[in-house]
Amino acid sequence: MGSAQKLKILRSVDAALANPALHQQKFKRMRMVAAVTAWLGFFSCFLLYFQGLPGIYLPILASLSGVLFGVALYLGNSIKQWPILAQHVSRESVREQISELET
């Protein structure tokens, strides 16, 4: 992993530690978008299937909807785990590493 990527990750962690409510709100919004898009994809897939429209797009649409639903579940678990993990992360240590990488 390059130093630019490490710096980006550390800045993201620092921002999440600085304002945990905003961090959780952002993840909840992303989770809702992924979940709603997945359910629309599943609904469209069933609708097209029961209308008798064959094609390769049905398995592709179902697969993409499944992946989006998995992303929504992942984000939901991240939202639940962050308050517990944030207690064990030292913000000063994160800022020290950011300053080391910037120089």
| Residue 29 pLDDT | 96
Label residue 57 by pLDDT band (50, 70, 90). confident
Q: What is the pLDDT of residues 15-50, one digit of tens each?
A: 999 998 999 999 999 999 999 999 999 999 999 889
Q: How far apart are CA 66 and CA 31, in angstroms?
A: 14
Q: What mean pLDDT is reported for the chain?
A: 92
The pLDDT of 46-59, averaged and rounded, is 87
Chain centroid to CA 72? 7
The amino acid occupying position 45 is C
Q: 18 to each of 52, 67, 86, how far by Cα in Å?
A: 53, 31, 10
pTM (2 d.p.):
0.80
Domain residue extents for the chain: 3-102
Percent share of the chain, pLDDT over 70? 100
